[in-house]
Structures are given as structure tokens and as C-alpha cells.
Structure 1
Amino acid sequence: MPRRPGHSPGVQREPVTAAPPRSARPALLRQDWRDVAFLHWVIRPEVAAPLLPPGTRPDLLDGRTFAGLIALRMAHTAPLGGPPLPWLGSFGQANVRLYSVDEDGRRGVVFLSLDAGRLLPALTARTAGLPYSWAQVHVRHVGDRCSYHLDRRTGRAHASIDLRVGPRQEPDPLELFVTARWGMHHRVPTRTVYAAVEHRPWPLHAAELVHWDTDLLAVAGLPEVSGPPVSVLFSPGVDGVRIGPPA
């Protein structure tokens, strides 16, 4: 009997936990992540599977997997244990991501695209094989409204998102599944690697999507995603994020 994409009875997936299950020390990179918007759509596992690196499969919640569009401000980026970069290390970013699990049961994300508002960080990350592009990315948070605007400088891709931020809430199973992600799967020339991520649990708020217009998901390889997202969340962010070296 053929297996469903994402189904592997021989592997026990690690639990979904609000706190990281492993350390990301020594950190390859430290950052603060601020004013974070989480938008998610349901997609079919057979759509996600070909877009994931070898050795991983779609991670499923009740038989479903998801595509995420995440927009935020990066601040105080500090590479390789050094001090934070004052100007170069703070910028807007957006990413399109899928949800993965590997042969060891580790859950993570796979980035289909990343757009950064600084050229040098985008070029540096691109040399490591990450799908970064240089873009104009503006994040504005005033009162209970937070807006994000992105125009990619190389190629045509854009995003315009306006949220009304609501009260803080405890995440339900779907919201925990798409936010409590403690690693990244990434394809390098000879293998798939995993980099751990460590930070305190997300403070999450309900959010109303007042306006959105984007082609980032279609450009990233998900043209079938349409309609409003099934989940919209906001977080004021987390400081002291640690990203570990590829393992």
C-alpha cells in the first residue's frame, strides 16, 4: 500500500513543545526577532513533499501540512559570538516556509524564500545556499496596528500586510505546531543538514488581517495557495535567539 507523503511509521516524531528541546550553543548567529506576523495556509502534503530537501518529509498535523508567510524585524544580529552589528544587523525580513520532519524525528522548517532589507546579509546567507533575496522591507508598528511592506529588488515579488493586533492568548494545537519550530532543514551540496534554534517561548497575540496582497508564495513555488490564511498571529517578538551550526 503506498505511503502518504509525510507518513513514516518507523520514525517517532519529537513532541511539539513551546520551549526548545535542544541547545543551539555554541551559536553561529544571535538575533532579536521583533514585531512578527505569522500567516498560514493549509496545503496538501503531496504539494509540499517535492519542495523539501532529501531525508525530510512534510510534517503533518491531523493529516494536514501548512505553508507560512512570516514577516518581522531582525535586530542586534551578532555572528560567530561577536558583538551585535549596529546598523547592518537590523532590518526587515519576510520568509515563505514549509514544515518538515527528518529521519531522526526532528521537526523543523524549510525556507522556500527569504527577503532581507540589507544587501550584505542577503548576499552572505545566499553564499551558504539559503534562498535569500535583497528587498525593500518596511515594518511599522503603531498602537494596535502593524504593517509590513516588501518589494523585491531582484525579480518581481511583493507583499503588503496590515494587521490589527488583539489580546495575548495561549496557542491552540495548530498555532503551537506552526510557531514552536526549533530548527531548520537545509540542503547543502552533498547532504541535508539541520540547524537548531533556541529562544524563549513565543508570546502570541490574536490578530485580524485588515489587508493583504502578496505573490511571495506563488513566486516561491506555491501557485495553488489562494484565499485568506487559516491562521493569523502576531508576536511582539523574542530576544536572544540563538541559531546553531549545521549538524
Structure 2
Amino acid sequence: MTDRAEQKNSSVPEGIWIMRQTWNDVLFAHWPVDASNLRAMIPPVLELDTYNGQAWISMLPFMLTNLRARFLPAIPGARAFPELNLRTYVTYKGKPGIYFFSLDADHRLAVLGARTFFHLPYFYADMKAEKNGDGIDYVSKRRGDGEAAFRAAYRPISAPFTAEEDSLDYWLTERYRLYTTYRNKLYYEDIHHHPWLLQHAEAEFSVNTVAEAHDISLPDSDPLLHYAKKQDVLFWPLRQWR
């Protein structure tokens, strides 16, 4: 299990950030899963992270806006599009982070760039996120893979709050590093943002087969849900662990 004192250290990474994004209308949907089954699905070099011995899988649908690389012009047509992430929680040498099984996005060039330069498992999907009063209607269907589909309606149901350190809410959301592998080498990327301003949420999932497309079985129990209206995020360069 993560040294929680280590996870509290969300200071600004060294060096210069290279990209910024804004994440809007984020739903965090978290399911407890069997750690022994999940262990075989992540690279051996990484340690599966657990909270009090429990492993977790999370799905995050949101709308990405304001995508911009530092010192470079904006990517044509890529300033705003939906994204859907499937992730779990890992550590390496005591540093907690995220491991992605998939990232679906509704922009071909962004998907190609992320796969090429960041070695992340991005997939091109037909997606739509629409406001419905105070909620969001969200649809995703991966191109070329009809098994990876998602449809949900979600909305916040509480006042905003920041998660208490050492809580499960904090452990699941306050992550400032992602890990990925490429050609048997480990890479990591640091990010930075303000602490999440969360709200409790409710959601109705009418289609949810993205995890199954990656041979991950979600439990029948209702997920733990959080909502965040907006988060500005900075990204540092992808680095190979040496």
C-alpha cells in the first residue's frame, strides 16, 4: 500500500511544463476489484496500489478543452473533445501514480499524437457529451471495437468539498504521476493541478462495456462516484526511468 505521506507531496515538478489542458464535467466512477486478478494486467515492474488492501478500477468521462502545447500553436480542431479513461492505481519505488488500460478520445490527431509521443493506449471513438440541466449525457463507442462502449447520465448532488488527506476520496483522486511502458521500458509523466474540488454524484449507466473489452470484470455493486466541474492541468515531459 502507498505510503500516504508520499502521496500528500503534490508539489510542482522540476523542469518546465510542456502542455496544458482543462478537464470539464468530470465523473469519477470507482469500483473495488480483486487485486489478484488485476495484478496480472499491469506491467511486472509496477506495484499494484491498494487502499487498506483493496484494489480499485476507475472510469473518468469528461470534456477536454484548452488543449495547448507550450511554445507551439494549437492543434487544429483539438481544443475541445470528449475523453474517457479506464485506469487503476500503481506505485513505483514508493511514488504513487496511475496506470491506464485505455483512453478513448474523439479526435484522430490527438489520439495519434498521444500514442506516438506519450506511449499511451489511446483509441479513437465516436463520442458526445451534452449538458442536460445540471447533468451530463455522455456517449462513447470505440471505432473498430463495438465491445468498448459507454453511455451514462450523471450529475452532482452535493456541495463542493476537498477530500481529506488519508481518506479514500483523496487516495483515488489526488494522483500526480502516470506510468506507462513501451518496448519493455518504463516511462512516467508528472502533472500538476490544484486539489480537486469534488462533489458527490449520481449516475445511471445504460451501457458500460469498456472494462470488459480489456478483460476486466466490474462488480455488480454500485460504484463510488465523484464529480468535478473543472480542473486546469499542466503536464511535464514524458521521461524514461533510468
Tell me the TM-score normalized by structure 2.
Answer: 0.88
Cross-structure match for 2:225: 232
DSSP-derived class of the 2:157 partner? strand
- Superposed CA deviations along residues 80-116 of structure 1, whole A, max 9, x for unmatched, are 432444632311000100100002x111101001100
Tell me which of 107, 112, 126 is aligned to 2:115: 126
SS where residue 109 of structure 2 aligns? Answer: helix
**Please, which runs of 5 or more residues in structure 2 have no aligned partner?**
none
Mark the runs of 5 or more structure 1 residues left unpaired by the alignment.
1-6
Residues 184 and 44 of structure 1: CA distance in aligned 2, closer, same or farther (over 3 Å): same
Aligned match of 1:112 in 95, 101, 114?
A: 101
How far has the Cα of 1:230 moved from its partner?
3.0
Measured on the aligned residues, the alpha-carbon RMSD in Å equals 2.0
Inter-partner Cα distance in structure 1 for 2:175 and 2:137: 24
| Alpha-carbon distance between aligned partners in 1 of 2:138 and 2:16, rounded to the nearest angstrom | 32
Say which of 221, 227, 236 aligns to 1:244. Answer: 236
- Structure-1 separation of matches of 2:109 and 2:205: 31
CA distance in 1 between counterparts of 2:162 and 2:69 reads 32
CA distance in 1: counterparts of 2:220 and 2:14, whole angstroms: 36
Letter aligned with residue 197 of structure 1? I
Identity %: 24
Shift of 1:62: 0.6
Q: 1:171 aligns with which of 135, 143, 163?
A: 163
Report the alpha carbon displacement of residue 71 of structure 1 after superposing the two structures with TM: 0.5
1:213 is aligned to 2:207: yes
Query: Residue type of the partner of 1:118?
Result: H
Contact kept? 1:164, 1:210, Cα under 8 Å = no
Are the equivalent residues in 2 in contact too, given 1:94–1:114 (CA < 8 A)?
A: yes
Pairs aligned (count) = 234
Compute the displacement of 1:191 (Å).
Answer: 1.5
Return the alpha-carbon distance in structure 2 between the equivalents of residues 170 and 244 of structure 1. 24
Residue in structure 2 matched with residue 185 of structure 1 by the alignment? 179
Contact 2:24 2:231 (C-alpha < 8 Å) held by counterparts = yes
Alpha-carbon distance in 2 for matches of 1:145, 1:227? 24
Asked if the contact 2:84/2:105 (under 8 Å) is kept, the reply is: yes
Give the TM-score, by structure 1 length: 0.87
CA–CA distance in 1 between the matches of 2:27 and 2:58?
Answer: 10
- Alpha-carbon spacing, 1:119–1:91, altered in 2? closer, same or farther (3 Å): same
Change (3 A) 1:74 1:181: same
Structure 1 residues 120-145: Cα deviation after superposition (integer angstroms, max 9, x where no partner)? 11112122431111111111223321
Contact 1:147–1:161 (CA under 8 A) maintained in structure 2: yes
Supply the distance in 2 between the matched residues of 1:47 and 1:57 (Cα, whole angstroms).
Answer: 13
Structure 1 counterpart of 2:152, one-letter code: I
For residues 201-241 of structure 1, give each alpha carbon's deviation from its aligned partner in whole angstroms, at most 9, with x where no partner exists.
1111110123442100111230x2132443111100212x1
Is the contact made by 2:198 and 2:228 (CA closer than 8 Å) also made in structure 1?
A: yes
